[in-house]
Structure 1
Amino acid sequence: MLNAVGFPIRLASGALLLAPLLLLAACQPAAPDPQAPRTTPQLASPKPVRAPSTQAPKPKSVAIAPPAIPSAAAALDRRIEALGAAFRGDVGLAVRDIQTGWTSHYRGLDYFPQQSVSKLWVAISAFDMADRGKIDLHGKLSIRADDLTLFHQPIKSLATRPGGFQTDREDLLTRALTQSDNSANDKMLREVGGPDAVRATLAAKSISGIRFGPGEKGLQSRIAGLDWQPAFSKGDGFYAAREAVPIARRRAAFEAYVADPIDGARPLAMVDALARLKNGQLLSDASTAQMLDIMGQTRTGALRLKSGLRPGWTLSHKTGTGQILQGEQAGYNDVGILTSPEGRSYAIAVMIGRTSRPLPERMDLMRKVVRTTITYDSELGNQRQAGPT
């Protein structure tokens, strides 16, 4: 049984099995026609079969027990709920067993800011276009100073060289995913057709519960109470402009964003999309393998989800980090696909919308979600070995 957003839920059901008692009524032959010729002898009337003298018993209802829930899955539910409830800040958590579809979550239907997690959807749009022959990922292009955006952009040193920087689309995708390079991502966003094209890809692939914003320049300007200007990409232009915004306006823009993020996503939708990516339901086999390989090389967030890994476990993931205003951060995330040494995989989303808690506390939450998932995998394996009880 699936719930409203397509995830497994427990179903308590019952059915009535009816065992009716069939009674044989007495049979009497038809009266002979006095005008009919008697050419054959009449048959003797059969003896009537009497109905039982006692009243027939009422049908008994037989309850059908719901399928047993593995204790490991029930424990995962409890632990994820406890981790979410204990964290002091707006947080949504979701873990999906990609093999069975079992999903545990905390506030999984609420929207949380994605920030750079949204770079995933630009990459999926590009790979999808490549699968359909609409774009060549090895096509050459140039990155120049006027392609720069704001905040984290390691490509900046290359783009500001005389003549700019020659590269290809695949390199830009890799930089956007592994380094969370804003300029590389915004360049690829233009290459795939802009925000509307990404939204069309999400809709075409039935990825719901995930919004795509206007791109890094528009998103970050809006959160700061600004409208993007090309001068913001030069030097400290954006920081200077943001500092000049009256604090009341900045606070209003910040509050509006965290209350209803234009790039928001539901944790349950996030793990569903990641599971479908892993299962090859979003891209071709070759593109799926390539994207997961790139995500496995992510350099950002070494102390987030990745800090919970055990020997032999791997993680293909994407981080997201929002702006800070007066000690509060709007978005601190890590989402990805966790894979065991034996090849079992789990989609994980930890999305923090607003918090002022120290970074070590946020990282500790992410580490615990990964460790909890690994514990679930171990307990489920033990239950399978033990067999039915």
Structure 2
Amino acid sequence: MLKHLLRGTALSLVASAALAAAPDAALQAALQKVAEQAKPGTLGVLVMDPATGQSVSVNAHRPYLMMSVFKAPIATAVLSQVDAGTLRLDRKVHLVPADIVGGSAVPSTGAALKSGAKDFTVDELLHAAVTQSDNTAVDALLRVLGGTATATRFLESKGVHGMRIDMGEGDLGRMFEAKGSDAVLASHVNSSTPEAAATFLRKLQAGELLSAGSTQKLLALMTAQVIPNRVRAGLPAGYQLADKTGTSGTEDGHRAAFNDIGIITAPDGSKRIVVLFLVHSPASSDQATAWFAEIGKLTAASMSR
């Protein structure tokens, strides 16, 4: 009798665990609907519960141009060297006006250089690159790091496969100017699959990429980033988002990339990872922002069910 009770209890627990971990069919359908609205652009979406590893996704099995999303992985690679003791946050980096790279969300470092050469600490460059999406700062960090290959090797070594960093913001901007958006997208430079971006975020929040102190530091920088819309705009009061956005310019009425990846934390402490990559879209920034906000709202609602 006891044997049958124990077996029944075990089967019940397995069934309950499977039910709890099952993908959210309602969320999947809602995400598909938003992706349909985004056509003729392609909207790649992935929402993951990091506690179970279960995810729902749309158009997720292909690479997307990251744009400034890549600043968070680069910052992670820099902080890994700080953790290893081979780099210090207070190390001074000398920059001159020729190092200015345009196109930043907030040109903090670049603006400071317009009056002449200046020294910045690695810590200041991290803050500018992640929180203010400053292009000059991230290209300086890549030089300190040892180049883009170092960043990609770090990600691969940590099990983040499908995310590649080939060039800095300056070189990418020149590639856009010389070859155009279609050629950039076809080359898959500076690209990530949604699965790779989700893996990066899951490993980051779990403390698998950095020390506890560096993990906390980077997540705080991502939480403080200066673009308050996109996914963040759809979250109810009490929800937090640690994210990194990325945006390209437009060419012939189409935007090559409009992105947001991040970790949503509900008031009860539960989390969801959300990855959004919109490519080759004729939509206005306001329309794309509305789609991203809707996905933020849908994700938050799924967390309360």
Please, what TM-score do these two structures have when normalized by structure 2?
Answer: 0.89
Cα offset, 1:141, TM superposition? 2.6
Deviation by residue 1:96-135 (Cα, 9 ceiling, x = unmatched): 1112211011011111110010111210110101111110
Provide the rounded CA distance (Å) in 1 between the counterparts of 2:282 and 2:187. Answer: 19
8 Å contact from structure 2 (residues 23, 54) kept in 1: no
Provide the rounded CA distance (Å) in 2 between the counterparts of 1:156 and 1:65. Answer: 56
Q: Secondary structure at the match of 1:155?
A: helix
Q: Secondary structure at the match of 1:117?
A: helix
Provide the rounded CA distance (Å) in 2 between the counterparts of 1:369 and 1:282. Answer: 27
Deviation by residue 1:329-355 (Cα, 9 ceiling, x = unmatched): 111111111111111111111101110
Deviation by residue 1:56-84 (Cα, 9 ceiling, x = unmatched): xxxxxxxx999446677222222222222
Of 37, 45, 49 in structure 2, the residue corresponding to residue 93 of structure 1 is 45
Identify unmatched segments of 5+ residues in structure 2: 1-13
Please, what TM-score do these two structures have when normalized by structure 1?
Answer: 0.71
Of 49, 62, 67 in structure 2, the residue corresponding to residue 110 of structure 1 is 62
Please state if 1:223 is matched with 2:176: yes
Deviation by residue 1:231-288 (Cα, 9 ceiling, x = unmatched): xxxxxxxxxxxxxxxxxxx5xx321222342111111211121011001111111110
Provide the rounded CA distance (Å) in 2 between the counterparts of 1:151 and 1:272. Answer: 28
Alignment-derived partner of residue 154 in structure 1: 108
8 Å contact from structure 2 (residues 194, 275) kept in 1: yes
- Cα gap change, 1:101/1:72 in structure 2, threshold over 3 Å: closer, same or farther? closer
Please state if 1:267 is matched with 2:219: no
> Which residues of 2 match residues 268-347 of structure 1 at below 5 A?
268-300=195-227, 302-347=228-273
Provide the rounded CA distance (Å) in 2 between the counterparts of 1:214 and 1:72. Answer: 36
Provide the rounded CA distance (Å) in 2 between the counterparts of 1:200 and 1:268. Answer: 18
Aligned residue type for 1:286? G
Worse-matched range after superposition: 147-156 or 128-137:
147-156
Provide the rounded CA distance (Å) in 2 between the counterparts of 1:165 and 1:70. Answer: 52
Provide the rounded CA distance (Å) in 2 between the counterparts of 1:274 and 1:220. Answer: 26
Provide the rounded CA distance (Å) in 2 between the counterparts of 1:351 and 1:142. Answer: 34
Higher helix share: 2
- Paired positions, count: 288
Deviation by residue 1:351-381 (Cα, 9 ceiling, x = unmatched): 01110112222111111111111111111xx
Please state if 1:131 is matched with 2:83: yes
Deviation by residue 1:185-241 (Cα, 9 ceiling, x = unmatched): 10011000011111111121121011112111111111221xxxxxxxxxxxxxxxx
8 Å contact from structure 1 (residues 119, 176) kept in 2: yes
Alignment-derived partner of residue 302 in structure 2: 376
Provide the rounded CA distance (Å) in 2 between the counterparts of 1:131 and 1:71. Answer: 37
- Cα gap change, 1:324/1:99 in structure 2, threshold over 3 Å: closer, same or farther? same
Provide the rounded CA distance (Å) in 1 between the counterparts of 2:229 and 2:112. Answer: 28
Worse-matched range after superposition: 85-94 or 120-129:
85-94
Of 90, 93, 96 in structure 2, the residue corresponding to residue 144 of structure 1 is 96
Aligned residue type for 2:34? L
8 Å contact from structure 1 (residues 143, 159) kept in 2: yes
Higher strand share: 2
8 Å contact from structure 2 (residues 21, 52) kept in 1: no
Q: Secondary structure at the match of 2:102?
A: coil
Provide the rounded CA distance (Å) in 1 between the counterparts of 2:49 and 2:74. Answer: 25
Identify unmatched segments of 5+ residues in structure 1: 1-63, 226-249, 380-389
Alignment-derived partner of residue 193 in structure 1: 146
Provide the rounded CA distance (Å) in 2 between the counterparts of 1:343 and 1:166. Answer: 40
Deviation by residue 1:292-331 (Cα, 9 ceiling, x = unmatched): 011111002x221110121110111111011211111111
Provide the rounded CA distance (Å) in 2 between the counterparts of 1:312 and 1:348. Answer: 17
**Alignment root-mean-square deviation, CA:** 1.9
Provide the rounded CA distance (Å) in 2 between the counterparts of 1:371 and 1:188. Answer: 34
Aligned residue type for 1:201? F
Q: Secondary structure at the match of 2:261?
A: strand
Provide the rounded CA distance (Å) in 2 between the counterparts of 1:254 and 1:359. Answer: 17
